Chain A
Amino acid sequence: MSATQVTTHHAAHSEHDYLNHQKGIWSWMTTIDHKRIGLMYLLTVGTLFLIGGFFAMGIRLHLAKFGATPLLEPDTYNKFMTFHGAIMVFMVIIPGIPAFLGNFVLPIQLGAKDVAFPRLNLASYYIFVAGALLAASSMYFNQVDTGWTFYTPYSTAKTGNGVILLVMGAFTMGFSSILTGLNFIVTTHKLRAPGMTMDRIPLMVWALYSTSIIQILATPVLAITLLLLAAEKTLGVGIFDPDLGGDPVLFQHFFWFYSHPAVYIMILPAMGVISELVTAFSKKTIFGYRAIAYSSVAIAAVSFLVWGHHMFVSGQSTLAGIVFSLITMFVGVPTAIKLFNWISTMYRGTISFHAPMLYAIGFMFLFTIGGLTGVFLASTGIDIHFHDTYFVVAHFHYVMVGGTLMALMGGIFYWFPKMFGRMSSDLGGRISWVLIFSGFNVTFYPQFILGAMGMPRRYFDYLPEYTSLNQISTVGSWLIGLGFVVGLVTIIHGILRGEKASDNPWGARTLEWQTSSPPPHENFVNTPQVTAGPYDFR
């Protein structure tokens, strides 16, 4: 039992926790404490999420066609779509769970005092902020309308120079992502507490570790791709420009070689969160610890071999299409392993339906739909019909929002008592879940039908027969928006007015719950001695 080995000193409870270890805004700006840096990411990513959400609501409101005149001009619509995508992908979902929850949780779960390179950790935060500002500056100078994928030759030959700013912003944020991943890998290898062997580290850490591998190996390829794009645009080197003998499809290969693994940068940490939530709220030892741990690594490995499934209709050879199709379907295997292990963990468990657990169950439900429709899209024949329709939009929102954002919300409510030493309102969390979960299905389920009917994505207008489903979808988006507002209010209310939390309100077994809430500056008063696995319930 790891729990019994840790002595918690309640006397030092309120005076010496990390939140009031040092005071003043400057102490936060210059902190090298991983917990504070995690919270700074929460604030930054949360703000960006609201901006990205604003653009999403604008897109949906426009597409509902409630008024006689369109809400947005066609060009404005394209810019909304681009900013929504670029902000949500590069600035919210990629850093969301690793940089925010991961930074806070990973060192404590390993029994470490901090990450391996605390100053690098702070640097990576500021690099992220600089990248976000650089990308955002394009909104002022020259708005981009390429979509978040910057496909050539449109991005190089046709559109304005704002794309250089956005691309260099993404490049800079990629650098931040690399440094965070590097920090996590070294922390996991070098800073585990005594007795914390690799088969005793929590599954959240396994997930973050696999994510970090992808960040280290894939992000540099995005970096060179974006650099080449910027060089193409400023110097006209011709690598992606058919007029000069270049090949625009090469850009797609380069781009998806990163951006497909990046999909798993987005979802693997979410799966780690779900593993924690399921076992904590089922009060049962995780079923298949090794299977879940190794399936994370398997997903990371396979993720590098499937990029071609984004390009079934981009002119790659039939043989390549078939191979990519097969390997893509293989991703379903480790993913299903995780899902069945979570369900087996819940089976005959003592399940309590607190807000975090509701989010975990919501994740499993929505991610299953997102994952299975991914198999549809992996089949080359079906994809030719579905490619660039709303079916694809619905699919990746089910994975990214229904998956990652559900896990992020669940993770926030789960670790909330540890972060702030207070409880957030469980009722508020549950109401936000009901609104987000139901609103999500109302928004995106109709988009599967629209896609199957043939409605193309990215267009600012559509044929009349798609109107009613689009309007249903827009009403759903208001429910999601309301749900996130309730969630935000619950979080702020919890921080300011929440009841004092005990050290382990959920009765979980991992190390972060064995220290005080909030933890002291160095996480533990005495370095914990680990003598058993992380989910030692029964």
Chain B
Amino acid sequence: MTSVSSTEFQHQHHFKDAEHQYASAKQGVWLFLCTEILMFGGLFVGYLIYHSLYPEVFKNGSHTLDWKLGAVNTIVLLFSSFTMAAAISYVQKGKKQLAIIALAVTIACAAIFMIVKYFEYGHKFAVGTVPGKFSLVDPKCGVGVAREKCRTKVDQILKDPALQEKYHVSAVEATKLQAVISKPRWEMFYGFYFVMTGLHGLHVVAGAVLIFWVLLKTMKGTVGPAYFTPVEGVGLFWHVVDLVWIYLFPLLYLVG
């Protein structure tokens, strides 16, 4: 990178010059991103295995997700990737005000994403399309007894129009839920849904915190045309968070 000037920025003692430090830091960030991909890779392998074991369960489960909300979140994250890339460019060019705005917009996008997720999660908790024992009316029922004999929340809601009213379950959704619980092991899909989006959501929050950290650095002027490694590193991380969602969205929302 030619834009690094070693005159303004004091590099650390064990590096030859600022460019040497920059190249090393960047290599470190890329290696860290490899570990992120491998960690999510384990989940994707698990998804693949269970999808092939229970294709109907995954199809029915996928139908109960709101693809419109998923699409909104996809657009929000894609846009945030753009503003993040723009922020890096602004920092490199020394356009401090624009960089601050771009970073703030990126954080706002992360917040929108999480708010949308909050409503999606909230509805699933309400209607009981959640993994494991929490899908049962009485969570203690599953202990020691065959689960098939326990009553699920979904079943309870489908048989009670008042509850459907209360939790805003439309007739269309009721049909979809009916299809879901008609297959055994239907909780498996929601196990993956919550673990995959949950881990991804944690990364969105972590990314937002990191972006806030570089936002502070930008405001203080500790990053700029001479030294922008943290902004670029956080940017790379944010793109990976985005990229993981690009795969999660079709696998969970559209696969059916």
A residues in contact (CB < 8 Å) with B: 112-114, 116-118, 120, 178, 182-183, 185-186, 189-191, 216-221, 223-225, 227-228, 231, 235-239, 241, 243-247, 250, 254, 522
| A238 B42 Cβ-Cβ under 8 A | no
A238 adjacent to B188 (CB under 8 Å)? yes
Taking the closest CB of chain B, its distance from the CB of A455, in whole angstroms, is 34
A237 touches B131 (CB 8 A): yes
Q: When the two chains form the complex, which single residue of B24, B43, B187 contacts A224, counting CB atoms closer than 8 Å?
A: B43
Are B132 and A216 in contact (CB-based, < 8 A)? Answer: no
User: What 1/0 flags go to B29-42 for Cβ under 8 Å of A?
Assistant: 00110111011111
Instruction: Tell me, yes or no, whether B250 is within 8 Å of chain A by CB.
Output: no
Cβ–Cβ < 8 Å partners of B12 in chain A: 118
Contact A221 B39 (CB under 8 A): yes
Partner pick for B49 among A191, A244, A250, CB 8 A cutoff: A250
- Judge whether A190 and B188 touch: CB under 8 Å: no
Q: Is B68 among interface residues, defined by CB-CB distance under 8 A? A: no
B50 close to A216 (CB less than 8 A): no
The reply on B147 being an interface residue by CB < 8 A is yes
Which residues of A have CB within 8 Å of B122? none
Q: Find the B residue at minimum CB distance from A217.
A: B38
**A238-B38 contact, Cβ under 8 Å, with A117-B28, A190-B23, A250-B46:** no
Are A237 and B14 in contact, with the CB atoms below 8 A? no
A191 and B28 CA atoms in complex are apart in Å by 13
Kindly report which residue of chain A lies nearest to residue B193, judged by CB atoms: A237
Chain B residues closer than 8 Å to A239, beta-carbon distance: 46, 50, 188, 191-192, 195
With a cutoff of 8 Å between Cβ atoms, the chain B residues found around residue A216 in the complex are 31, 34-35
B118 contacts the other chain (Cβ, under 8 Å)? no
Whether A182 contacts B194 in the complex (CB less than 8 A), given A236-B133, A244-B187, comes out as: no
Complex Cα spacing A250 to B15, Å: 45
15 A-B residue pairs with CB within 8 Å: A116-B28, A117-B24, A117-B25, A185-B27, A186-B24, A191-B15, A217-B35, A236-B132, A236-B133, A237-B132, A237-B191, A243-B142, A244-B147, A244-B185, A522-B13
CB-CB under 8 A for A244 and B188, given A186-B24, A191-B14: yes
User: Is B98 in contact with chain A by the CB < 8 A criterion?
Assistant: no
Return the chain A residue nearest B39 by Cβ.
A220
B54 at the interface (CB under 8 A from A): yes
A337–B192 Cα gap in the complex (Å)? 45
Give B37 Cβ to nearest chain A Cβ, in Å. 8
Q: How far apart are B117's CB and chain A's nearest CB, in angstroms?
A: 17
C-alpha gap A93/B39 in the complex (Å): 23
Q: Are B35 and A178 in contact (CB under 8 A)?
A: yes
Contacts of A219 in B (CB 8 A): 35
Residue numbers in B under 8 Å from A217 (CB-CB): 34-35, 38
Least Cβ–Cβ distance between B13 and chain A, in angstroms? 6
- B39 contacts A113, CB within 8 Å? no
Q: How far is the CA of A191 from the CA of B20 in the complex (A)?
A: 9
B163 interface contact, C-beta 8 A: no
- The distance in angstroms between the C-alpha atoms of A480 and B134, with both chains bound, is 51
Contacts beyond the supplied A190-B20, A245-B188: 5 A-B pairs with Cβ under 8 Å? A116-B14, A185-B31, A235-B194, A236-B134, A239-B195
Contact in complex: A228, B46 (CB < 8 Å): yes
Residue B161 at the A interface, CB < 8 A? no
Interface of B is mostly: helix
A54 to B169, CA, bound (A): 60
> Which residue of A has the minimal Cβ distance to B49?
A250
- Cα distance A183–B35 in the bound complex, in angstroms: 13
The answer, yes or no, to whether B184 is at the interface (CB within 8 Å) is: yes
A239 to B192, CA, bound (A): 8
Give the interface SS of chain A, mostly helix, strand, loop or mixed. helix
A418 to B116, CA, bound (A): 58
Residue B209 is within 8 A (CB to CB) of chain A in the complex: no
Instruction: Decide yes or no whether B255 CB sits under 8 A from chain A.
Output: no
Task: Confirm or deny: B199 has a beta carbon within 8 angstroms of a beta carbon on chain A.
Answer: yes
A220/B199 contact (C-beta < 8 A), A182-B31, A238-B187, A246-B188 known: no
Residues of B within 8 A of A120 (CB): 28
Q: Which of A186, A220, A227 contacts B27 (CB under 8 A)?
A: A186
Task: Contacts A190-B23, A216-B31 given; indicate if A221 touches B38 (C-beta within 8 A).
Answer: yes
Enumerate chain A residues within 8 angstroms of B53, measured Cβ to Cβ.
245, 247
- A224 in contact with B132 (CB, 8 Å): no
Decide yes or no: A245 and B54 within 8 Å by CB, A190-B20, A231-B195 being known contacts.
Answer: yes
Answer whether A245 and B39 are a contact pair too, CB < 8 Å, given A117-B28, A182-B28, A237-B195.
Answer: no
A116 to B39, CA, bound (A): 24
For the complex, what is the distance from the CA of A237 to the CA of B195, rounded to whole Å? 8
Is the beta-carbon distance between B31 and A224 smaller than 8 angstroms? no
Q: Return the 9 tightest CB-CB contacts between A and B, nearest first.
A: A236-B132, A245-B185, A237-B191, A224-B42, A113-B14, A220-B39, A220-B38, A237-B131, A190-B24
Query: Which residues of A have CB within 8 Å of B42?
Result: 220-221, 224-225, 228, 254
> A234 to nearest B CB, angstroms?
9
Chain A hits for B35, CB < 8 A: 178, 182, 216-217, 219-220
A238 x B36 contact (CB < 8 A): no
Choose among A190, A243, A246 the residue that contacts B147 (Cβ–Cβ < 8 A).
Answer: A243
Q: How far is the CA of A182 from the CA of B53 in the complex (A)?
A: 37
Minimum CB–CB distance for B55 against chain A, Å: 13
Residue of B nearest to A221 (CB): B42
Q: How far is the CA of A470 from the CA of B30 in the complex (A)?
A: 51
Specify which chain A residues have a CB less than 8 angstroms from the CB of B134 in the assembled complex.
235-236
Contact call B32/A182, Cβ cutoff below 8 A: yes
Distance in angstroms between the alpha carbons of A116 and B14 in the assembled complex: 8
Min CB gap B54→A, angstroms: 7
Q: Cβ of A244: which chain B residues have Cβ within 8 Å of it?
A: 131-132, 147, 185, 187-188, 191
Q: Which B residues touch A185, using CB under 8 A?
A: 27, 31
Interface hits, B32-76 → A, CB 8 Å: 32, 34-36, 38-43, 46, 49-50, 53-54
The CA-CA distance from A236 to B194 in the complex, in Å, is: 11
Task: Give per-residue flags for B178-207: 1 if the beta carbon is below 8 A from chain A beta carbons, else 0.
Answer: 000000110110011011000100000000
- Which residues of B lie under 8 Å from residue A522 when comparing CB positions? 13-14
A190 contacts which chain B residues (CB < 8 A)? 20, 23-24, 27
A113 cross-chain contacts in B, Cβ below 8 A = 13-14
Nearest to A258 among chain B residues (CB) is B42
Q: How far is the CA of A220 from the CA of B40 in the complex (A)?
A: 8
CA distance A224 to B43 in the complex (A): 7
Residues of A near B194 (CB, < 8 A) are 235, 237
- Bound together, the chains give a CA A434 to CA B32 distance in angstroms of 43
B36's closest neighbor in chain A, by CB?
A220
Chain A hits for B40, CB < 8 A: 224
A189 and B25 alpha carbons, distance in the complex (Å): 12
In this complex, the member of A116, A117, A217, A225 whose beta carbon has the largest number of chain B beta carbons within 10 angstroms is: A116
Chain B neighbourhood of A247, CB < 8 A = 49, 53
